Structure 1
Amino acid sequence: MHLSYSLFAPLLGALAAARSIPNTYHQNAARSMPYAVKQSPLDTPWTENVGTTPWPEYPRPQLQRTQWKNLNGVWQYQNASTQDAVRQPPTGQTLANEVLVPSCLESALSGIQGKDMFYSWYSTKFDVPSPWNGQRVLLHFGAVDYEATVFINGKQAGFNRGGYFHFEVDVTDYLSSNATNELLVFVHDPTDSGDSVIPVGKQTLNPSHIFYTPCSGIWQSVWLEPAPSNNWITQLDLDANMDGQVNVTVHSAKGNATSVEVTVYDGDHEVASHTGQSDQPFLFKVSEPKLWSPDSPNLYNVTVRLGNDQVQSYTGFRTISKGKVDGIVRPLLNGKFVFMFGTLDQGYWPDGLYTPPSREAMVYDLKILKDLGFNMVRKHIKVEPALFYRACDELGLLVIQDMPSMRPLQERTDSNCKKTRILANNPQQTEFGRQLEVLINQFKSYPSISTWVIYNEGWGQITSYYPEFELTERVKSLDPTRLIDSTSGWIDHGAGDFSDNHHYANPQCGTPFYSTDSSPYDPSRIGFQGEFGGLGNNVTIENLWHDQAAINKINQTYEIDTTVEAWNYRSHVLLSELEDQVRRYACSGGVWTQTTDVEGEVNGLMTYDRRIKRVNEEQWKADIQALYDAAAARGGASQKN
């Protein structure tokens, strides 16, 4: 059964009812500069509809509780000058500006549109619904970039480091005895300043062509929810394979083995139920499950109970592996070679930067890809809100998920004008490894994710030794159910499951030829074209990121085609060349650059504002189908777009 988002209607109704409790304290300071969307260098069709109650959906689709309270909306904000400001939280004070949460402080939607947002204060007030009395109150943040220190009623309640990941704070013991509670959040985001080496992806303080405007602050949803006082579920690990075996670990707040019940439903029909122990893995089986694949993205509802705590989740039955097909190592889905073809997806928006203006806007991009026939998307050195992966699960889009890279290819110049490449020191490399583990643990239950990427093109990759080998083994131990692309593009020393080539002028996928930037094809691993294409086509100012520095860099695009017709012709040539390599050699998949334009890049299937599609849809659908047909002739599964 294809479980659409709408099939959660009864649950969502309950969630909406809980969410409808107004947070009347969001706009509580007449002296703050009132919130208003700033003039962006470019907007989208969704910009005007964002309003002041953004992202009303329950943010965590694989661990849902029916009672919750959305704290998104207009908060207060003011800049702080130094890290020392965290020692003196502005408790009970009116902050200088109003800001939209969630949003990037550098974005137009935030109402701030700042620059060099190193230190920031956020403030809001909330009450706790009276039916939650006697329970623990959990405060959740979808993601805050980069370090967040949380204060409740003037007392420090929590801290998190890492700009892409969910964290929660049990705020129960800090709550006021009356109805009103003050939430303050201090955010420090160094991005790529000084000698800072942290996971930043494409963010930079000095945007230029393939590196973009940074995102600081609370950029994903914030919410409250109650949990039973004695014990509750903190994390749910679910893997369901093609044989019907379900592997479950239910993590609890107490960390003690406690009885848990897991029930699996096909729609509303119960198909299996099993009782196990929390905080340790256990197995059970579902007979003859309908498998998940891009052609048939079947999903099953899951209910988990631990004592008085109950959460809703879901899963899809599929097995991702690798194996030889006619003597060539291939990626396998449910035991069959599936040619993976998708786009490099940056996940940037001109109005919200890292934060899409709405769920509708975010899913629009994915539907465009699916309608053209792509069966995969490479989420490029960024981590999206959890609802993104839910949408991929529903639509049937495989996800190649990158770890956000550390500072790429940056150099410092000393007093003698000697240049030294800035790489992670030992503590920074250790922190990168820790955050890589967080990525795996938080997202390993989404059926659509097929592959983890550790390093992209050597960005942040230490070359004096080969950390990718140890990190690859660490990822395998955390998640043995997926493939690992240890070094996408270069610098490749032989780690992981992929022999991954990046070459824009033409593909070199599993072939006996390669260019100096990449490595020769390794037949012991999967031949893959991790990036290619990148063809550019300039447009009028109405659809460009209206920033002169970005416009000046447009001609750095790998190739500029002066008309859309020429762009489609050149696209056809490159896709045909990839098809030829599938038929002749050992090519098992590819990533076209890219879904949309971004700032000074004009090589997207769509413009940055999503208003113009460059693709000749009939041609692209035929070219993509030709890739699947070529793979089927080499022993691959038959696929239809």
Structure 2
Amino acid sequence: MLTLWAMTVTPSPADHLFGPSLNTTQASYSYSTPAATSSPTAATSTPTPYRLIPPLLDTPWTEKVGTDPWPQHPRPLLYREDWLSLNGIWTFQPADSTDEVNSPPASATLSQEVLIPSCIESGISGIMATNLTQMWFSTSFTVPSSWNPKQRVLLNFEAVDYEATVFVNGKQVSFHRGGYFRFTIDVTDQINLHGPNDLLVFAFDPTDEIPYYTPHGKQTKTPSHIFYTPCSGIWQSVWLESVPDNHITKLDITADMDGNVNVMVHNARNETVPVQVSLVAHNGAELVTHQASAHKEFSFHAPSAKLWTPGTPNLYNISVTMGYDTVRSYTGFRSISSGVVNGIQRPLLNGEFVFQFGTLDQGYWPDGIYLPPTLEAMVYDLKVLKDLGMNMVRKHIKVEPDLFYQACDQLGLLVVQDMPSMRPGEGAPSGDPAPEDQEEFGRQLELMVNQFKGYPSIVTWVIYNEGWGQLTRGDYPEFGLTDRVRRIDPTRLINSVTGWHDHGAGDFHDNHHYADPQCGTPWYSILSTPYDPQRIGFQGEFGGLGHVPAKENLWPVQRAVDAINQTYEISANLDAYNYRSHILLRLLRDQVALHACSGAVYTQTTDVEGEVNGLVTYDRRVTRVNATQWKDDIQALYDAANSRT
């Protein structure tokens, strides 16, 4: 049974987050083997109690997870006062086949307790099982008596990997496909407002099993070097909210460098009804109040608005009222474009060339796998980058909880957001995805852009990474997909193909090269193509310098340890590591100063399993970089870029 609580007070969406300081003290730890999980065919009356299973490698936040994980409101761009977290202890059991979805368990109590949200492969879940493809989750909830009984009740899932079939009080109420994206169900007519309600979820997650061809990023059921432990199940928050019959379902808000705010208020009935929008400064002063209509695009002007930049991440709160519904949101004033500066095509932020430098950020954790153990842990990774002077992060073929993008907004980190890739290689007879798989990829690409396009920090959408799941012959789909993204979001740049198989689509000519960079240069690797001066020269990946950490900081799986020698380059010690990184950053600086390099992504923020090339180790306990040296080298990149303007 889940202990419920109602959240009625939260900090303003633009309030700043502060991550913890790095704990360099090594906690006592003993390795353990994942617990075996049985596959009962019937629900039991007394589930096995939840316990945190010691992960193969822990972090400073592992023991802080508790049984009330991720209590924060999960959608900062659409906040209401009346909401209820369903996160906590649920019950779980494996399913023997997908056919079980047609005969759900009679009882909502399953065989084992599980912590939600989590990946069932993680120790934090309390399950720590691998190679499960279908599974059941259940809990019960009671609607708070303080909620208006005449309003609707929405059930929200932030992400379930990969397909979710949802039952409320024994009735199927929804089906959703796509492991990274939210969905909402109006359950008003299926629930008891004055007593307990049963919630049951069937999840199906094939990951990279053949013949399935799904967007899943680096997840694999057979981990090997650059492909890692998968995440299955309800891995992001689940919650309820109380809304009027005709309520706001989505806000599309953009604010540009000239103070113009463009708004589209979506509502449940798709009706053109009056709305009032108020723009509020961080100090609470109301700057603008504008009257308009929902279901129609409108705009207004905010005089003297302070711009959002990495150095000055100014954010403004927004309140939107439509009838009996009021939601809070926020925005930042900035414009993203491409333009010629001194004869070179450049990415522009607020009309100026800003050199973008940051890391490849994979978002993996040894204790939570795909979900950080806590919000503090997630923000810590971002603060590592910011404290070194980086102004950008590439979110690599993964989508994070909305609170990740809010933190980037608040810290001042530009986000290059990848679409999670499909499986490289095998698929249709040609090696390409079948047409229906390609269309599903396009549908989920649209889901990603629509879900996250309100966050000011996101500056670029990436469609394909290194050809994974990309059609390699015929009518190259990146052109059509680029057009689809541009129609949905004309305010950002599009990196259609990062790495190789570049046929000329999008705003970037993006090369990957390890270990040294080749960014907008008159030379190129055989996997890439000659620099295209009509597009922005960008180094999508480089670096990857490795260093084998002490045993207590290493992912203790022999398969992963054996793959360490596949790292691009291994340094014998940290002095050598920092010397080599200095050489690579100096080479990059020269390419910025002499050629057409406009941005670069260093691999990577942290180690991941058998990859030992992070700025910090996988457990986040050891920082490899010489902070003073790296700050100086990064500043030299910005200085070289400024000399070209």
Q: Kindly report which structure 2 residues correspond to 1:471-482, keeping only aligned pairs within 5 A, or say none.
A: 471-482=481-492
CA contact (8 A) 2:143 2:193 kept: no
1:375 matched residue in structure 2:
391
1:426 aligns with 2:442: no
Structure 2 residue matching 1:130: 3-state secondary structure: coil
Identity %: 62
1:454 matched residue in structure 2:
463
Q: Kindly report which structure 2 residues correspond to 1:24-423, keeping only aligned pairs within 5 A, or say none.
A: 31-132=46-147, 133-176=149-192, 178-229=194-245, 231-267=246-282, 268-410=284-426, 422-423=431-432
Structure 1 residue matching 2:509: 3-state secondary structure: strand
State the AA in 1 paired with 2:417: Q
CA distance, structure 1, for counterparts of residue 136 and residue 233 of structure 2: 9
Q: CA deviation at 1:94?
A: 2.7
Match of 2:506 among 467, 491, 496: 496
CA contact (8 A) 2:432 2:472 kept: no
What root-mean-square deviation, in Å, do the aligned CA atoms of Structure 1 and Structure 2 show?
Answer: 1.4
Q: CA deviation at 1:277?
A: 1.4
Alpha-carbon deviations, 1:61-102, whole Å to 9, x = none? Answer: 000011111100010000001111101111325311110000
1:487 aligns with 2:503: no
CA distance, structure 2, for counterparts of residue 328 and residue 290 of structure 1: 28
Report the TM-score, using the length of structure 1 for normalisation.
Answer: 0.93
Unaligned runs of 5+ residues in structure 1 are 7-27, 413-419, 636-641
Q: CA deviation at 1:2?
A: 7.7
Structure 2 residue matching 1:131: 3-state secondary structure: coil
CA contact (8 A) 2:108 2:199 kept: no
1:11 matched residue in structure 2:
none
CA distance, structure 2, for counterparts of residue 208 and residue 540 of structure 1: 21
Structure 1 residue matching 2:146: 3-state secondary structure: helix
CA contact (8 A) 1:303 1:313 kept: yes
State the AA in 1 paired with 2:240: L
CA contact (8 A) 1:65 1:312 kept: yes
1:577 aligns with 2:587: yes
CA contact (8 A) 1:409 1:421 kept: no
Q: CA deviation at 1:281?
A: 1.0
Q: CA deviation at 1:117?
A: 1.8
Q: CA deviation at 1:352?
A: 0.3
State the AA in 1 paired with 2:455: Y
CA contact (8 A) 2:213 2:427 kept: no
Structure 2 residue matching 1:581: 3-state secondary structure: helix
CA contact (8 A) 1:2 1:297 kept: no
Report the TM-score, using the length of structure 2 for normalisation.
Answer: 0.93
| More off after superposition, 500-509 vs 172-181 | 172-181
State the AA in 2 paired with 1:112: I
Q: CA deviation at 1:39?
A: 2.7
State the AA in 1 paired with 2:546: G
2:40 matched residue in structure 1:
none
State the AA in 2 paired with 1:591: V
Structure 2 residue matching 1:388: 3-state secondary structure: helix
CA distance, structure 2, for counterparts of residue 67 and residue 29 of structure 1: 34
CA contact (8 A) 1:150 1:159 kept: yes
State the AA in 1 paired with 2:247: W
State the AA in 1 paired with 2:498: S
CA contact (8 A) 1:3 1:299 kept: no
Structure 2 residue matching 1:109: 3-state secondary structure: coil
CA contact (8 A) 2:48 2:111 kept: yes
CA distance, structure 2, for counterparts of residue 279 and residue 189 of structure 1: 36
CA contact (8 A) 1:534 1:593 kept: yes
CA contact (8 A) 2:80 2:326 kept: yes
Structure 2 residue matching 1:439: 3-state secondary structure: helix
State the AA in 2 paired with 1:163: G
CA distance, structure 2, for counterparts of residue 472 and residue 326 of structure 1: 27
Distance 1:568 1:531, change over 3 A: same
CA distance, structure 1, for counterparts of residue 231 and residue 479 of structure 2: 31
CA contact (8 A) 2:109 2:139 kept: no
Match of 2:444 among 431, 435, 438: 435
CA contact (8 A) 1:561 1:567 kept: yes
2:565 matched residue in structure 1:
555
CA distance, structure 2, for counterparts of residue 602 and residue 446 of structure 1: 31
CA distance, structure 2, for counterparts of residue 49 and residue 290 of structure 1: 38
Alpha-carbon deviations, 1:247-270, whole Å to 9, x = none? Answer: 000110001111111110112111
Structure 2 residue matching 1:605: 3-state secondary structure: coil
Q: CA deviation at 1:312?
A: 0.4
CA distance, structure 1, for counterparts of residue 258 and residue 427 of structure 2: 51
CA contact (8 A) 2:140 2:197 kept: yes
CA distance, structure 1, for counterparts of residue 296 and residue 325 of structure 2: 18
1:590 matched residue in structure 2:
600
Distance 1:39 1:344, change over 3 A: same
CA distance, structure 2, for counterparts of residue 586 and residue 622 of structure 1: 21
Alpha-carbon deviations, 1:428-486, whole Å to 9, x = none? Answer: 11111000000000100100000000000000001123000000000000000000000
CA distance, structure 2, for counterparts of residue 193 and residue 387 of structure 1: 30
2:32 matched residue in structure 1:
none
2:21 matched residue in structure 1:
none
Match of 1:535 among 545, 552, 558: 545
1:4 aligns with 2:16: yes
CA contact (8 A) 2:225 2:560 kept: yes
CA distance, structure 1, for counterparts of residue 193 and residue 533 of structure 2: 66
CA distance, structure 1, for counterparts of residue 296 and residue 443 of structure 2: 21
CA distance, structure 2, for counterparts of residue 68 and residue 421 of structure 1: 49
1:546 aligns with 2:562: no
CA distance, structure 1, for counterparts of residue 542 and residue 495 of structure 2: 16
CA distance, structure 2, for counterparts of residue 411 and residue 66 of structure 1: 47
Unaligned runs of 5+ residues in structure 2 are 1-12, 19-42
CA contact (8 A) 2:157 2:237 kept: yes
